[in-house]
Chain A
Amino acid sequence: MSRPSVADVHAAQRRAAPWPYAELDLTGPAPHPVRDVVLKVHQRCNLACDYCYVYELADRSWRDRPAVMPDDVWQATLAALGRHARRHGLDRLRVILHGGEPLLLGPRRLGEMAAQLRAALPDGCRADIGVQSNGTQLSDTMVATLARHGIRAGISLDGVPADHDRHRVTHNGRGTSAAVAAGLRRLQAAPSAYAGVLCTVSPDTDPVATYAYLREFEPPLIDFLLPHANWTTPPAQRGHGDWLVAAFDAWYGDTAPPRVRLFDDLLDMLFGGAGHSEQAGLSPIALAVIETDGAIELVDSLKSAYDGAARTGLDIRTDELDDLLTDPGYAARQLGTDALAPACRACPVQQICGGGHYVHRYRAGAGFRNPSVYCADMLQLIGHIHTRVTADLQRPIGAPS
């Protein structure tokens, strides 16, 4: 299947998302070079999670793509990453092997890829290599390979077994919690290969039990992710703010809490610091995705908004990563407050919320310059954290909270 040209892709993007594609002025400062690269090394997955943005939502592009990244795409990707790092003098590049389920490649191939990635980057540029997995393929051999090659695994776990098994199932409908728990135990014994755990928020679950269960696996980091939704396709459930508030209280009251990225970020930003994820804050996003067919794309959670939302029309075999820097969809993620809707710019928590996740701002026919569809939930959570921390700061040091 032939790929549409950059001009054709931008024409389609202008129709679906006038902001940024038709309305953004690109004459401002040059965007940051790419610092995070997501490589879709294995397109297919052994699970059929009901909320998956790759297979279950608006986008259907996976059907036309190779199941596994072919060697010509892989070699072109290595060369392009090396050129990009040299051109911009990067001292660090985060490379995330993603899918589908990337561990389906097997330990030997993953080890080869890690070694080739590091060899492709110039001296002085460190590759932080990660893999985001559903956790069902973490055999002893796999975990040992990840540790040996300096690959850190993030695992998706949606809470206690009964909750996890309602959403994260095999193609036969079988729950996967037992397999994931066994894999996480192996990662606990190999901390250098353990990045953390991602959990999608579901308001019909118990947030305190969810936090306690995730904590049992001693992850270096937990993140709670709001399910992808937008103004055209609203969340299937309500009450995400209540859930996050209860989870925050469980975490905040913990005597030795693990890192929870969303909560840590909101706390940091309330103190005037910067956020470090896409869910909150105004820090720039400098991320490219390379699909198995060589397409250079934007963050693939955009696929939850509309079919083709992540497309740029670029190809790693014929284009440079620098060509991505002039894509309106890439530049739009680095504008800070200039990317926010007027309502957000008038909001007192704009510096902390940052408009929420860009993907959650979409409205068909308008694009991405809207408040998040989770606006009320974010306001509730930020207000709660502010109140709780303010009370603590007024308490004498060492006094119980």
Chain B
Amino acid sequence: MNAVPEEGADRASGETLLLDVRTMPAAEIAAARDSALSRSLRRVLDSLDDPNGVLSAFSSFASS
């Protein structure tokens, strides 16, 4: 179980956690099957064409 952290304490260290798919067949992964991973890649690729996609949704309503 986690303790409630002290403010600013216990930070992760190391480089950024962004996933790097430059050397991977991202399009093939996206098309592979209906897994959470492939779906996510498809969504990110689709979002490149979505000018309104930057606005966040109210978390107290269940809608994407």
A270 CA / B41 CA spacing, docked (Å)? 10
Q: A274 and B61: CB pair below 8 A?
A: no
Q: A386 and B19: CB pair below 8 A?
A: yes
Tell me what chain A mostly uses at the interface: helix, strand, loop, or mixed: mixed
A377 CA / B10 CA spacing, docked (Å)? 11
Q: Chain B 9-30 against A: per-residue CB contact (8 Å), 1 yes, 0 no?
A: 0111111111101001100110
Contact of A189 with B by CB under 8 A: no
Q: A352 and B47: CB pair below 8 A?
A: no
In the complex with contacts A221-B64, A264-B43, A287-B58 CB distance below 8 A: yes
Contact of A240 with B by CB under 8 A: yes
Q: B59 and A349: CB pair below 8 A?
A: no
Q: A154 and B64: CB pair below 8 A?
A: no
In the complex with contacts A98-B60, A198-B60, A257-B43 CB distance below 8 A: no
Q: A277 and B54: CB pair below 8 A?
A: no
Contact of A190 with B by CB under 8 A: no
Tell me what chain B mostly uses at the interface: helix, strand, loop, or mixed: loop
Among candidates B13, B36, B52, B59, residue contacting A278 with C-beta atoms closer than 8 Å: B59
Among candidates B36, B54, B63, residue contacting A152 with C-beta atoms closer than 8 Å: B63
Q: B55 and A130: CB pair below 8 A?
A: no
The closest CB in chain A to the CB of B43 belongs to A268
Contacts of A128 in B (CB 8 A): 63
Contacts of B5 in A (CB 8 A): 371, 373, 375-376
**In A81-99, which residues have CB < 8 Å from any B CB?**
91-92, 94, 96, 98
Q: B44 and A276: CB pair below 8 A?
A: no
Interface centre among A128, A231, A268 (most CB of B within 10 A): A268
Contact of A397 with B by CB under 8 A: yes
In the complex with contacts A276-B56, A349-B17, A376-B34 CB distance below 8 A: no
Q: Chain B 30-64 against A: per-residue CB contact (8 Å), 1 yes, 0 no?
A: 00111111011101100100001111111111111
A286 CA / B58 CA spacing, docked (Å)? 9
In the complex with contacts A270-B17, A348-B15, A221-B63 CB distance below 8 A: yes
In the complex with contacts A238-B4, A240-B2, A132-B61 CB distance below 8 A: yes
Q: A370 and B59: CB pair below 8 A?
A: no
A215 CA / B36 CA spacing, docked (Å)? 15
The closest CB in chain A to the CB of B56 belongs to A283
The closest CB in chain A to the CB of B41 belongs to A271
**In A175-203, which residues have CB < 8 Å from any B CB?**
195-198, 203
Contact of A347 with B by CB under 8 A: yes
Q: B47 and A32: CB pair below 8 A?
A: no
The closest CB in chain B to the CB of A283 belongs to B56
Contacts of B32 in A (CB 8 A): 397-398
Contacts of B1 in A (CB 8 A): 203, 238-239, 242
Contacts of A277 in B (CB 8 A): 56-57, 59
Q: Chain A 315-354 against B: per-residue CB contact (8 Å), 1 yes, 0 no?
A: 0000000000000000000000000011100111101100
A310 CA / B40 CA spacing, docked (Å)? 34
Contact of A28 with B by CB under 8 A: no
Contacts of A261 in B (CB 8 A): 57, 62, 64
In the complex with contacts A267-B40, A271-B44, A376-B2, A35-B64 CB distance below 8 A: no
Among candidates B4, B21, B33, B53, residue contacting A373 with C-beta atoms closer than 8 Å: B4
- Interface stretch, picked from A7-15, A71-79, A388-396, is A388-396
Q: A272 and B18: CB pair below 8 A?
A: yes
Q: A130 and B7: CB pair below 8 A?
A: no
**In A37-51, which residues have CB < 8 Å from any B CB?**
38
Q: A371 and B17: CB pair below 8 A?
A: no
Q: A275 and B61: CB pair below 8 A?
A: no
How far does the Cβ of A23 sit from chain B's closest Cβ, in whole Å? 17
Instruction: Across the A-B interface, give the 10 residue pairs with the lowest CB-CB distance, nearest first.
Output: A154-B62, A343-B8, A196-B62, A273-B44, A267-B40, A239-B1, A376-B5, A278-B59, A283-B56, A271-B44
Residues of B whose CB lies within 8 Å of any CB of A are 1-5, 7-8, 10-19, 21, 24-25, 28-29, 32-37, 39-41, 43-44, 47, 52-64
Q: Can you give 28 contacting A-B residue pairs, CB < 8 Å?
A: A38-B60, A38-B61, A94-B58, A94-B63, A130-B63, A154-B61, A196-B62, A238-B2, A252-B37, A256-B34, A268-B47, A271-B18, A273-B43, A274-B53, A274-B54, A276-B64, A278-B56, A278-B57, A286-B55, A287-B58, A348-B16, A349-B17, A351-B18, A373-B4, A377-B2, A386-B19, A393-B24, A393-B37
